[in-house]
Structure 1
Amino acid sequence: MSHCHHSVIAGHPALVSFWDFQGEEALLAKGPYPYQLEEMAGRVERFTEGVFGPQSLRFERGQWLRIPRSDCPALNFRGHGAKLTIAAWIKREAAPEGQCQAVAGMWNETEKKRQYCLFLNLRIWDSKDQVCGHVSATGGPTPGYPWCMTSAIGASPIPLEKWSFVAFTYDGAFAKVYVDGKLDARLAFNPFAYFEGLYDGGENGADFTVGGVNRSGEMGNFFAGVLGGLAVFNEALGEDELSAIAT
């Protein structure tokens, strides 16, 4: 991935934060909000193959990153006016069978403070290896279900051991997921109609976490593999924009 894609992202007017994971300050975002990710379970390996340079992050099982909620107000997408895009460059590795994997978002299931999160491998709605964009207006499980079921879910399995560009957008009306810059259309689930907006967790809501979420009283749903870049925007980017970033 060449330098020009870097500038397309860094120069985008809706950019909030962009982590390219390069250099000594790999966990410090570029862009208008230079938020710092904290390593929460030991130093994440700096892997010597990257998307935006010679480095990326390789997560061992149980590792995750976070920004305390109070330190990242621009990532606190909430309410009826919420609009967002989360884009990630990933190289999946095999994970324990049946394990959901969180890539990034504000999503605390234990305290019923779900807002938004980019996932892989959600097991709901006959899904397995696809990209998922989870949205919640209530913070808790969907009424009548043990889990939150409101999610855009694509059709395509994300391959192992191969770089993929995955993205999740929400514009206040529809959640959508994209693979390599294209809408990964799936009947009834992508686009996913959701007019309720996002839960407002207030001062005590969820932290922004990468590579895992708090659920069942502890961190889990760990991401397995390599993360080459992560970008968050405060608008729902369209297919043309995501395709330009992906090319």
Structure 2
Amino acid sequence: MDYYKTAEAIAEHPALVSFWDFQETAGQSRQARGPYAYMLQEREGPIEREEDGVFGPYAAKLRFGQWFQLPRAECPALDFHGKDAALTIIAWVKREPRQNRECQAVAGMWNETEKKRQYCLFLDLHIWDSGEQVCGHVSSGGGPTPGHPWCMTTAIGSTPVSKGDWHAIAFTYDGTYARTYLDGRLDERQTYNPFLYEEGLYDGGAEGADFTVGSVYRSGTMGNFYAGLLGGLAVFDRALRDEELAAFV
């Protein structure tokens, strides 16, 4: 794969909102390419870069407990909500082994504490007999699924995502189905991928969730930390087709 050409194809895609390639040094905000040059802010100290990149020499190295934040007021184009909401998130990740079995939030607008869930790309959601797969969480109400202590509406693939290897993980929502992809392929699973969800996405308004990368706000604090390398992150304002996703990996 020619990743230079891939980066250019992503940056020039007509549905792109923002694309981060994480080439900046620790201590700098990470600025997106594309129509919306949003700036991800480091949280819990400088986030180092490692010479093992996807769209350049480097990738961001998120240690357990670190994340990036983009305040809601600064990223209106990432506020997907309503019955007609549609989106795609693609992240290029190299997970690290760890003992903590907590699920890992990769990117999205997902505030569990204040019941302002909208959408989020996850790994390791331990619901519906799942474990190490790619997950695409969607919520129309913002709170837990009725009859459950947490949100259960999610597309979940069937293939475990290995640690120590680069993978492209993706989640799409088209207003009818949520879908998850692993390395450019729809990771089909009966009932759960594609996942039928016609309710749309929660509208948090001006006081809704921030856009966070590598963590979400839950149980009154930040948690569900992703740990490992992050080589790229791209968000689009529609559900990309299978062939479009395959072309980016």
Answer yes or no: same fold by TM over 0.5: yes
* Counterpart check, 1:220 vs 2:223: yes
CA distance in 2: counterparts of 1:178 and 1:57, whole angstroms:
22
SS in 1 for 2:178: strand
**CA distance in structure 2 between the partners assigned to 1:44 and 1:130 by the alignment:** 25
Asked if 1:170 corresponds to 2:173, the answer is yes
Distance in structure 1 (CA, Å) of the matches to 2:175 and 2:169: 20
- For residues 165-187 of structure 1, what are the alpha-carbon distances to aligned partners after superposition, in whole Å with 9 as ceiling and x for unaligned? 00000000000000010000000
- In the TM superposition, what is the alpha-carbon distance from 1:96 to its structure 2 partner? 3.2
Q: Which amino acid aligns with 2:125?
A: L
5+ residue gaps, structure 1:
none
In 1, distance between residues paired with 2:166 and 2:222? 26
CA distance in 2, matches of 1:35, 1:105: 14
Take 1:111 and 1:161, find their aligned partners in 2: how far apart are those partners? 34
Which SS does the other structure have where 1:10 is aligned?
helix
TM-score (norm 2): 0.97
**Are positions 1:156 and 2:159 aligned together?**
yes
Give aligned-pair identity as a percent.
Answer: 61
Q: State how far apart, in whole Å, the 2-side matches of 1:189 and 1:224 are.
A: 25
| Cα gap change, 1:7 to 1:181, in 2 (>3 Å) | same
Alpha-carbon distance in 2 for matches of 1:95, 1:36? 29
1:9 corresponding residue in structure 2: 10
Per-residue deviation, residues 120-168 of structure 1 (Å, max 9, x unmatched): 0001011110000000000000000000000000000000000000000
Say whether the 8 Å CA contact 2:184–2:246 is kept in structure 1.
yes
Q: TM-score under structure 1 normalisation?
A: 0.98
> For 1:73-92, what aligned pairs fall within 5 Å after superposition?
73-92=76-95
Which residue of structure 2 aligns with residue 124 of structure 1? 127
CA–CA separation in structure 2 for the residues paired with 1:20 and 1:215? 27
Which one of 31, 35, 38 corresponds to residue 32 of structure 1?
Answer: 35
- Determine the C-alpha separation between the residues in 2 that align with 1:43 and 1:238: 36
Question: Is the counterpart of residue 241 in structure 1 residue 229 in structure 2?
Answer: no
Structure 1 residue 146 corresponds to structure 2 residue 146: no
Moved more, 128-137 or 24-33: 24-33
1:20 maps to 2:16 = no
Give the gaps of 5 or more residues in structure 2: none
Partner Cα distance (2:32, 2:99) in 1: 30
CA positional deviation for 1:224: 1.3
In 1, the alpha carbon distance for the partners of 2:5 and 2:231 equals: 16
Once the two structures are superposed, the pairs formed by residues 107-122 of structure 1 within 5 Å of their partners are: 107-122=110-125
Secondary structure of the residue aligned to 1:114 is strand
Q: Give the count of matched residue pairs.
A: 246
Q: Secondary structure at the match of 2:206?
A: helix
Which amino acid in 1 is paired with 2:229?
Answer: V
Match of 1:192 in 2: 195
Question: 2:70 corresponds to which residue?
Answer: 67
Contact kept? 1:108, 1:213, Cα under 8 Å: yes
- 1:19–1:26: 8 Å Cα contact kept in structure 2? no
2:50·2:59 contact (CA, 8 Å) conserved in 1? yes
Q: Is the CA contact 1:165–1:179 (under 8 Å) kept in the aligned structure 2?
A: yes
Give how far 1:97 is off: 3.6
Task: Spell out structure 1 runs of 4+ moving beyond 3 A.
Answer: 23-26
What is the Cα deviation at residue 95 of structure 1? 2.9
RMSD: 1.0
Deviation of residue 238 (structure 1)? 1.0
* Separation in 2, partners of 1:195, 1:102: 23
Q: Distance in 2 between the 1:133 and 1:147 partners?
A: 15
Tell me if the contact between 1:83 and 1:171 (Cα under 8 Å) persists in the aligned partners: yes
